[in-house]
Amino acid sequence: MTMRVLLTAFAMDAHFNGMVPLAWALRTAGHEVRVASQPALTGSVTGAGLTAVPVGEDHRVEQVMAAAAPGVFALHQNADYLEGRTELLDRAFLEASTTMLTATFYSQINNDSMIDDLVGFARRWRPDLVIWEPFTFAGAIAAHVTGAAHARLLWGPDLFLKAYERFQELLAIEPEERRDDGLREWLTWTLARHGCAFSPEVVTGQWTIDQMPAGVRFELDQPLVPMRHIPYNGPLPAVVPPWSRTPPERPRVCVTQGMTARTTGFSGLDAVAELLEAVAELEVEVLATVAEGERLRPLPGNVRVVDSVPMHVALPDCAAVLHHGGAGTWSSAVFYGVPQLNLAWQWDDVYRGRRLEKLGAGIYLPPGPAREAAGVRDSLAHLLSESSFREGAARIREEMLDCPTPNEVVPTLEDLTAAHHRAPLSPSG
């Protein structure tokens, strides 16, 4: 059976990259694959060797976040939220969080023209399966309207749904007059525009494809398909640099802050130059990715600064990685069993950092004095000297390798699609 599979992620590389290996697997299994997003992502989609469907106008979430980010982050600097103890969150927090995220993020990255155009494309192309990035509710809407099966593809632990489920539990015990769920309300009128009623599946997907290793996964009351994370470098050309062809003479430490901060301002590292100087005091070779136009003062000789390097090229030779906590960097480091020094401060980045520390595969430094250059240097020295970290990282790597590869997941997706599909399968099937 040949399926038509529509993948969709809002236009932001970090949220799209995690979908690429599965898209390849579906394609080489013989399925028809399209990737829909706002026009701004077209180059990244075609650059990944996939077929792009530009839909709607570009979102303007950066403009909104320029005004809203301080308040959004102020609310969410809540330890119970960041560390995944959602059972301790109260209704006031969850209502504020849901309202804020729906107003400033979900409804912005899923702009009306993008949703409507995606629904129009789905009506015409009749996908059998829609796979959507977990914030790209447009995909769920298009599937729900056309009767396609649909699933979320996670890039990190499911903190969003875990918190939302807690919110639903608290709302259920409130009198009807006191239930205020901004996400549900937005999805309700958006679905009504396309002649459909709200269904909780539009928030949860019919099932969820999860790329986290078992020890870092949240177990929710949702059908789950574990899948191995396969490092994909994103839109930058992946080229093996000449210097990397000889093994390092001293332990190599990669210092990176990902690519997203370069375009959005989130999340990056503070005071990179000082950090590099401090880290270079150790008996190590430092490989640092720093954006070309970002001027750094002269650095010690054991620091190599590059604009970028593919993580799947660099990490296998690294003894440790110091990073901002982003999902792509974190997952690639786990994949190669590299101990991590994590300086995350936002969203599920914090949970992943703390969780890895708990599992003995890294160190998480919370924002504050611990992150001063000397503290970072000492933590890195500890990370390098204790062999337990490398053993821990190897254990988590095994957990990741225990998950079926995207190729192995494809038959499961075929079965689930057949079970959930409401419309007749496409004529090519």
Partner 1 sequence: MTTTVTESELGRHLLTVRGFHFVLGALGDPFARLLNGEGDDAAALGAEIRRRGPLHRSELGAWVTADAGVAAALLAEPGLDTRHPDAGQDHVRENLWETWRTCHVTPAGGAPLTLPLAEYARLARLCDPVLGPRTAGAWRADVRGAVLPVLDRLGPRFDLVTDLVRPAVAAAVAKVLGVPVTAADLATPGVALDAVLCPPRLPVALELEEAIGRVRELARAQVAERAVEPRDDAVSALLATGYDRADVVEVCLLHLVAGAEIATGALTGAVEALLGRPGQWAALRRDPDLAARAVEETLRWAPPVRLVSRIAQRPLTVAGQEIEADDHVVILVDAANRDPSSGAGDFDLAGEPGPSLSLTGGGYESLVAPPARVIATEVLRAVAERLPGIEIDGPPLRRMRSPVARAVLKLPMAKGR
Interacting residues toward partner 1 by CB under 8 A: 60, 63-64, 67-68, 70-72, 74-75, 92, 95-96, 99-100, 102-104, 107, 112, 175, 177-178, 180, 182, 185-186, 188-190, 192-193
| Distance separating alpha carbons of residues 6 and 77, to the nearest angstrom | 35
> How many CB atoms lie under 10 A from the CB of residue 200?
10
- The set of residues, in sequence order, having a beta carbon less than 8 Å from that of 29 and lying 6+ positions away, is 407, 410
Instruction: Identify the CA nearest to 186 among candidates 121, 122, 100, 117.
Output: 100
First-to-final CA distance of the chain: 5
How deeply is 373 buried, as exposed, middle or buried, from its count of CB atoms within 10 A (0-12, 13-18, 19+)? Answer: middle
Q: How far is the CB of 141 from partner 1 (least distance, A)?
A: 12
Closest CA to 304 of 280, 278, 322, 286: 286
Q: For residue 290, give the H/E element and its range.
A: none
CB of 59 to partner 1, least distance (A): 12
Residues 271-302 as b or e (16 or more Cβ within 10 Å = b)? ebbebbbbbbebebbbbbbbeeeeeeeebeeb
Asked whether the beta carbons of 361 and 391 are under 8 A apart, the reply is no
Cα–Cα dist 272/294, whole Å: 10
Q: Which of 27, 15, 129 is nearest to 139 (CA)?
A: 129
For residue 261, give Cα distances in angstroms to 70, 90, 269, 291, 334: 16, 31, 9, 10, 21
CA distance 206 to 208: 7
Give the E-state strand segments of 100-236 in sequence order. 129-132, 149-153, 207-210, 224-226
Closest of 135, 161, 137, 171 to residue 219, by C-alpha: 161
- Number of helices (H) and strands (E), helices first, in the chain? 20, 13
DSSP 90: -
Nearer CB in complex with partner 1: 95/128: 95
